[in-house]
């Protein structure tokens, strides 16, 4: 039996948290960027989809070349952290308009492709058993990293927007240093050897892998659109109800609640299995989507409770989907399987973000408070595949 140092998982978690803090930095400083660069009303989808498209491009390339399986994933993580940190901070120097901002966020997203899925590959190389629990902590770190820039911009601890970019870049760099100096490649790391042109075909041939992946695709229709539009949802409620909300702080706390959900789901997966935990979370968050038009008429305390419930359940399925995908991947192609499924999932998220940005600003029934009812399509799509997967196990 392989003895695993106790510090491994906490350090992977810290490194993942640090690297993924680059993700939503643009959203956290969006009001200042809109003013400084004269961005239009669709700035949310511009900034968020730019980093998503970069991430998609990166994951497609990394998956096609099977980089995380052919080379050291720890070194890939380290190099990507350095590059992502550089292009994140470069916004303060080179962003002069919407086009240059889009380009810099795109490149940052490209290198996050070497942080997020590769971090999961590193965890799977250390945790062959109990992976659902390990990834619960790891995705919890991703969620805190996603929420972190909102905390830096909340009105009780408000940093200038350039300072937010400097801080997150430094943090990501530290994460890369930790992973290469103190973690290293795990004992279950199996290199695939030479480039395999048919690697993706081998992965998609697995029926159980496809069912888990399709469940994840339904989840990704909802997740990043919810996170991306959360400040606007809170702002809309504040305007309708006439209450004063600390929107950056609430955004941080609601998104961060998902980290508790992910960690809890990791523990539950040890008793009920990853497929059942993922299905339950997808079902509950889907219900929240369908009920979302009603939340704007709730008293502020119930509205905030509803948002926390949504934030808690919108993300625990992510680590369990990743566990299933790693479990059903062909031998030696675990990193490629995680990367390609992320690539497709984030493509769906990007499409969702763009669609919902236009719907949200639509002057009609589907605009405004009724917009996010349509996020429930994701659960309706993904759950049937998960039920089939549970039945086949």
When pLDDT is averaged across residues 232-245 and rounded to a whole number, the result is 90
Ramachandran category for residue 154: left, alpha or beta (phi over 0 → left; psi -120 to 50 → alpha): beta
User: How do residues 339-393 score in pLDDT, each as one tens digit?
Assistant: 888 889 988 988 898 888 888 877 777 777 888 999 999 999 999 999 999 998 7
Ramachandran category for residue 38: left, alpha or beta (phi over 0 → left; psi -120 to 50 → alpha): left
When pLDDT is averaged across residues 329-333 and rounded to a whole number, the result is 80
Evaluate if residue 202 carries a pLDDT over 80: yes
Closest CA to 219 of 388, 55, 344: 344
More confidently predicted of 275 and 25: 275
When pLDDT is averaged across residues 235-249 and rounded to a whole number, the result is 88
Band the pLDDT of 42: cuts 50, 70, 90. low
Please tell me the distance from the alpha carbon of residue 371 to that of residue 359, in angstroms, as a whole number: 6
Which pLDDT belongs to residue 64?
A: 81
Which pLDDT belongs to residue 52?
A: 82
CB atoms within 10 A of CB 1: 3
Band the pLDDT of 269: cuts 50, 70, 90. very high
Band the pLDDT of 26: cuts 50, 70, 90. confident
Which pLDDT belongs to residue 310?
A: 97
Please, are residues 275 and 393 in contact by the beta-carbon 8 Å criterion? Answer: yes
User: How do residues 130-156 score in pLDDT, each as one tens digit?
Assistant: 788 888 888 887 787 777 766 766 655
Which pLDDT belongs to residue 149?
A: 67
Q: Which residues 6+ apart lie within 8 Å of 56 measured at CB?
A: 109, 343, 346, 347, 350
Closest CA to 246 of 333, 154, 145: 154
Q: How far is CA 284 from the centre of its chain?
A: 19
Please tell me the distance from the alpha carbon of residue 354 to that of residue 368, in angstroms, as a whole number: 15
User: How do residues 290-330 score in pLDDT, each as one tens digit?
Assistant: 999 999 999 999 999 999 999 999 999 999 998 999 888 88
Which pLDDT belongs to residue 195?
A: 54
Band the pLDDT of 213: cuts 50, 70, 90. very high
Please, are residues 164 and 152 in contact by the beta-carbon 8 Å criterion? Answer: yes
More confidently predicted of 154 and 120: 120
Band the pLDDT of 186: cuts 50, 70, 90. confident
More confidently predicted of 150 and 231: 231
Which pLDDT belongs to residue 194?
A: 56
Q: What is the mean pLDDT of the chain?
A: 86
Provide the residue count of the chain: 393
Buried b (16+ CB within 10 A) or exposed e, 87-100: bbbbbeeebeebee
Mean pLDDT is lowest, of 190-194, 240-244, 323-327, 375-379, for 190-194
Q: DSSP letter string over 140-163? A: HHHHHHHHHHHHHTSTTSPPPHHH
Band the pLDDT of 177: cuts 50, 70, 90. very high
Which pLDDT belongs to residue 233?
A: 92
Which pLDDT belongs to residue 320?
A: 94
CB atoms within 10 A of CB 75: 16
Evaluate if residue 255 carries a pLDDT over 80: yes
Which pLDDT belongs to residue 367?
A: 74
When pLDDT is averaged across residues 112-131 and rounded to a whole number, the result is 86
Q: Which residues 6+ apart lie within 8 Å of 166 measured at CB?
A: 89, 92
Please, are residues 159 and 167 in contact by the beta-carbon 8 Å criterion? Answer: yes
């Amino acid at each position: 039996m392989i003895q695993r140092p106790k510090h491994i998982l906490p350090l992977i978690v810290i490194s993942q948290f640090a690297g993924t803090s680059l993700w939503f930095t643009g959203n956290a400083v969006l009001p200042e960027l809109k003013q400084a660069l004269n961005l239009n009303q669709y700035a949310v989808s511009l900034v968020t989809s730019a980093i998503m498209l970069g991430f998609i491009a990166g994951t497609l390339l990394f998956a096609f070349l099977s980089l995380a399986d052919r080379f050291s994933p720890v070194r890939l993580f380290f190099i990507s952290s350095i590059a992502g940190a550089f292009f994140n901070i470069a916004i303060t120097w080179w962003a002069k308009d919407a086009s240059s901002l889009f380009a810099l966020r795109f490149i940052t997203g490209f290198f996050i492709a070497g942080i997020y899925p590769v971090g999961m590959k590193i965890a799977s190389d250390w945790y062959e058993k109990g992976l659902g629990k390990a990834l619960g902590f790891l995705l919890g770190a991703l969620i805190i990293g996603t929420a972190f820039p909102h905390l830096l911009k909340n009105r009780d601890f408000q940093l200038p927007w350039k300072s937010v970019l400097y801080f997150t870049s430094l943090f990501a760099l530290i994460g890369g240093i930790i992973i290469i100096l103190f973690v290293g490649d795990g004992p279950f790391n199996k290199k695939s050897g030479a480039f395999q042109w048919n690697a993706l075909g081998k992965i998609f041939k697995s029926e159980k892998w496809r069912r888990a992946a399709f469940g994840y695709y339904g989840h990704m229709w909802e997740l990043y659109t919810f996170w991306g539009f959360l400040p606007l949802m809170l702002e809309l409620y504040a305007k309708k109800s006439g209450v004063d909300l600390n929107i950056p702080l609430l955004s941080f706390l609601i998104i961060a609640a998902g980290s508790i959900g992910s960690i809890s789901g990791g523990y539950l997966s040890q008793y009920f299995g990853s497929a059942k935990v993922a299905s339950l979370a997808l079902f509950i968050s889907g219900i929240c989507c369908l009920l979302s038009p009603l939340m704007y008429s709730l008293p502020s305390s119930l509205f905030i409770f509803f948002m926390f419930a949504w934030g808690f359940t919108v993300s625990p399925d992510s680590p369990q989907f990743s566990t299933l995908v790693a479990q059903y991947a062909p031998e030696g192609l675990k990193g490629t399987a995680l990367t390609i499924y992320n690539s497709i999932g984030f493509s769906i998220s990007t499409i969702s973000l763009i669609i919902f940005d236009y719907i949200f600003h639509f002057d009609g029934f589907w605009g405004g408070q009724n917009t996010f009812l349509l996020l429930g399509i994701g659960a309706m799509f993904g759950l049937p595949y998960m039920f089939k997967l549970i039945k086949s196990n």
